Structures are given as structure tokens and as C-alpha cells.
Amino acid sequence: MTDGPPLSLGNLALSRKEDFKAFAYAPRREQPKLLTRAELKTLTAEEKAAYDRLRREWHANLGPIKTPQLAELHEDLWDIVDSNLQDGDKAKGAVAVDAFPGLGKTTSVLAFLREFHHREVAESGEYTTQGHERLPVCRVGLTGNTGMKDLNRAILEFFGHAGRNRGTAAQFGQRALDCVLSCEVRVLALDDLHFLKWRKTSGIEVSNHLKWIANEFPVTLVMIGVGLADKGLFSEGTTSGDTVLAQTGRRTTRLGMRPFTIENEAGRREWRQMLLALEKRVVLADKHPGMLADDLSDYLFARSTGHIGSLMTLINRGCQRAFRSGTERLDRELLDRVKNDEASENARRELEAALENRRLTSRPQPSRQAA
């Protein structure tokens, strides 16, 4: 793809190939220039509105940040995907990224898929030897009502196949296989796998279908979800239905993502590095070194409970309020007025009490930090 992404990256659906390619080839966002208070006052009303729009979009898209968690997940994904070079008559190992909400699973996997897409196209070209568009990645989002036919149709929707609206489940499956083979797809990513009702008829049906895909499609299945272990994806099972589900788990490697923790020095150093990285990306006239990593370290940990999704949401919303109100900085007084997700708010009080009573701290020892 050489003609660049669409004008608005906020109007994409990654379940379609055109939009996934636009996402993959989108240039890195350019951080708005940091203006001083004096420079802000020189802007006309139109210039200030344009500058604030740039800041709104920038703060809403601060990630992904290469945290240790993201780096660990990417290393594991590269190991698995690169080892799946078996001939077409052999089934390839699958991946299940199984972790709690708010830890950045989808964001991290999408970052990997973008890198993988670039590598494959750089090595093999934009078109296959048969002249078809090369699409190394097919990404599909699932819903709570997804059955075998729906999954096949969703794959066809990604490719924009003309036969995606009429046919049987088997016909949809063969058309999906044709698309995957023609476009030389190497990774099939299924997001929100937890939406399936695994122990109901549709769940067993889709589990069998995933096994068929693993056998027939020359792809690495990357499944993303919450609580997949509890749903039986990895269990041996004791009933015939459970055993059917466990067959998928036999070929699946489970990968997780951990939250930030502050129980030891290593965890506290990781948390500080995260806040320092965020500080560099904040575009507020009155920001200062240590605004997040020193002044707000404990407070931000309590508000996010170490979940990167909750932290990014809080910083984004706080920045929007900071320049909209003219405050132009982040502090506790401002952030106390900013609402965050319900899970973080519910867990906030107990953590705040522990941090304020110094039973916990998010700050590493100065000597260790310097080292």
C-alpha cells in the first residue's frame, strides 16, 4: 500500500482489510510543539482552537508505550509465529492471549500484528506470485452470538468477499480458506474470544471449527480474550463436551499480561519508567520534570491499580480538562475531578489508604534508581 492512510484514522474498523492496512501504514503521530504560557497568549482564537484539537488527538492516542509487559508479549509472539513454518500438511501451534481487562492485550497484539505485516511485505512483496494482494494478517472481532457460520462470514467480511452474504457455513468456510490461501495470510487474529459461550452448543461448534482452521489453514491462530482458562479452553475436561473444547487447548500456548506492581523494587522501577515515558508525551504548558513520576506516583497507582488501560484513560482525560480549563498541568486537585473506569474507582480507596499510611510506596529507593 503506497497511497497512504485515509484522512481520519479515527474512522477505521480493523475487521476490514483496507482499514487494517491503513492502520498498519499510518505514519507515527507527530507530537504537538510544547508552547509556553506566553506563546499560548499570542495565538489567535482560530490558532488556539487548532492547537487544542491537535492536543486532543495526541493525548487520546498516547500509546502504545513499550512497557516491559508489551516487550515480553512481543518476544513470545515472535517465538511462536516464527517457529510456525511447518509445511501445509502439519498443524501449527496457536496462541491465546488471556489476561484481565485494562492490561493492554488488544493494543499490544495490534502493535505486534502491524510489525509482522510490515516484515512479511518487506520480505515477500505487496503481491503474491499469483498476483493477489498480500495480506499477512487477518483480524476478526467476535461477538456473543458468534457461531461457525458467523465466524466464516466475519473472515469473508475482512476480505470484502462478494460471497459473504449468501451461502452455508461450509461454503463460507471454503471461501474463507480460498481468501487465506490466495492472500497468503500467516496470522489469523480472533479478538474478544471470551464473548463465546464455550460450554454451549455454539462454543463447542466454534472450538471444533478452530481445530479445523488449525488443520487446514496455513496460519497461526492468535486468540485474545478474558478468562479463557476459566471457560475451559486449556482444560482437559471430564465430559465429552469439555474434551472437545480441550482439544483446542492442546495446541494452544497461553500468554498473559501482568499489571504493574509495587511490592518490590523491580516493580517500582518499572512503574516509574512508565510515568517518565508518559511525562515526555504530555503537552501542557505548565508541565515540569517529575510532574507524574515524583508528584503523582502514588496517586496515579491508586487511581489505576497498576492497570495501564486505566492509567492511560486517566492521563488522557486529565490532559483534556487541563488545557480546556486553562490549568495546563496535572495535579491531584485537577485529577480528583476526573472520572475513571468503575473497576479502578472501586479499588481506589483501599490502595490510597495503604499508600498514605506508608504501608506501600510506588517510589523506588533513590540509590537503586540511580544504579
Q: Tell me the per-residue pLDDT of 301-320, one tens digit each, with 9 for 90 and over.
A: 999 999 999 999 999 999 99
What is the mean predicted confidence (pLDDT) over 97-105?
87
Q: Tell me the per-residue pLDDT of 165-183, one tens digit each, with 9 for 90 and over.
A: 899 989 999 999 999 999 9
- Check: CB of residue 362 under 8 Å from CB of residue 94: no
CB count, 10 Å around CB of 206?
25
Sign of CA dihedral 104, 109, 115, 118: negative
- Check: CB of residue 110 under 8 Å from CB of residue 97: no
Measure the CA dihedral 179/19/71/80, to 10°.
Answer: 0
Q: Tell me the per-residue pLDDT of 115-168, one tens digit each, with 9 for 90 and over.
A: 999 999 999 999 999 999 999 999 998 887 777 888 899 999 999 999 988 999
Give dist(CA 223, CA 245) in Å, integer. Answer: 14
DSSP annotation string for 337-356: TS---HHHHHHHHHHHHHHH
3-state secondary structure at position 9: coil
Which triple of cell numbers denotes residue 363? 517510589
